[in-house]
Structure 1
Amino acid sequence: MKLHKESKGTIIVASLLFAVIGLLSIYFLEMWSLAIIIPLLIIYGLIFWFFRVPHRDILNHKENVIAPVDGKVVMIKEVDEDEFIQGKAIQISIFMSPLNVHICRYPVSGEVIYKKYHPGKYLVAWHEKSSTENERTTIAIKSLTNHTVVFRQIAGYVARRIVFYCNEGDQAKAGHEFGFIKFGSRMDIFLPIDTEITCKIGDKTKGGIDVIAKMKE
């Protein structure tokens, strides 16, 4: 199983911590040490599972908006996007549980024209205000269809580390990785008001594969 590069520090710390706790439990608890060691091994395995990098066959897309993350669609609504679009947009929000793959991918192809990191709160990721009050990043792309698409990585109550690798001027390719969020959170996508939405609330998405909307040329 291939692991994401963001796993290195977490796995080193977890390995040392679990080794110390395991040895201490064996020394002090003897035959009862399995009550400690078995749960630790399960948690250790879940950490590896969280940082997995699944193989995805990414296609080329122009009009299609691709799911940027694995998760569940929890919101589709018309909103005012005040940071960059400064007008009406359709917001699609996808919630990621700790068991989902947490690689973040570009939803559309085009050019990165804006990026910004915002410190903030750690409300639960499905809270509507988390989009504007939580720690987050905002990225905007001028798509191949000449539309502006904005999307946000949002930290949640558990997720406390957002990573994004893109810079203004970079060429974005729909479905390809631009960042990572550790341990559960949310992704918001803001699309032009006349976009055709092809997903619905409750849909489970596969990042880089599933088409969630189509933009008019």
Structure 2
Amino acid sequence: MLTPQVPVAREGYPFIGLAAFITLLLAVCGYPVLTAIAFLVSLFVLAFFRDPERFVPPDDDALVSPADGKVISVEETEDAVFTKHRVCKISIFMNVFNVHVNRIPFDGKVESVLYRPGKFYSADSPKGGLENEYCGTVITTSAGQKLAFVQIAGLIARRIVCWLEPGDVIVKGRRFGLIRFGSRVDLYLPADTAIQVAVGDKVRAGETVIGVLKK
């Protein structure tokens, strides 16, 4: 399934507009070096908020990555916050050069959206988990399985955007939010999920199969 094309995330419009305005102002005022620097910054901001199309795998039982980035952790643990079950937790770190638009990993219905302000440790550090600001979405699949995906702010990222609300019926691969300027997304999956990734793997939101839910 191909979702409708939106080449640049709308949350980036103010930042892109401001960078372009400053570039134009410096050019008009006759500062060529500063204009060149501002132009490069504008290109970086535009690239950061890019929102390319993704092709979602056709396997109904496959879970796709919610984020672009690198897998930094795969572990089995008890989840006392979101699903209240034993889970397989997968952490994906997004650096400032990754696409930061997040996508829904699996079809289901939103049970709850939990936001908590917090600190801003580096998202790839041991403290960069639930001590940081986060927004966690818990969903239930049509088979009654519960899973969660958690957007976590990082050292640079200070703004989590999530468009989901409790009761929403969601579709795998669709966009659900973003995190501005470097961050991390954690997945809490049923412990018996057949995991398809390992630490160090590079993943793409909406395309890379993270695991397969047990029927």
TM norm structure 1: 0.90
Q: What's the CA shift for 1:86?
A: 2.3
Kindly provide the CA deviation profile for residues 156-183 of structure 1, in whole angstroms up to 9, marking residues without a partner as x. 0111111111111111111111111111
Identity of aligned residues (%): 33
Residue number in structure 2 paired with 1:131: 129
Change (3 A) 1:157 1:22: farther
Shift of 1:10: 1.0
Q: What is the CA distance between 1:93 and its match in structure 2? A: 0.5
Give the partner amino acid of 2:24.
A
Q: How does 1:66-105 map to 2 (within 5 A)?
A: 66-105=64-103
Q: Which runs of 5+ in 1 are unaligned?
A: 27-32
- Cα shift at 1:21: 4.2
| 2:190 corresponding residue in structure 1 | 192
What does residue 155 of structure 2 align with? 157
Task: Please tell me whether residue 10 in structure 1 is matched to residue 48 in structure 2.
Answer: no
Listed as ranges, the gaps of 5+ residues in structure 2 are 1-5
Cα distance between partner residues in 1 of 2:33 and 2:22: 17
Q: TM-score, structure 2 length as denominator? A: 0.91
Report how far residue 12 of structure 1 moved: 2.1
Alignment of 1:107-186 (within 5 A): 107-186=105-184
Distance 1:61 1:82 in 2: 30
Range moving further from structure 2, 126-135 or 15-24: 15-24
* Inter-partner Cα distance in structure 2 for 1:22 and 1:187: 39
Structure 1 position 20, deviation (Å):
3.6
Q: Which one-letter code corresponds to 2:14 in the other structure?
A: G
Q: In structure 2, the residue corresponding to 1:115 is in which secondary structure?
A: strand
- Report the secondary structure of 1:42's partner residue: helix
* 1:29 counterpart residue number: none
Per-residue deviation, 1:145: 3.2
Counterpart of 2:43, as a letter, is: G
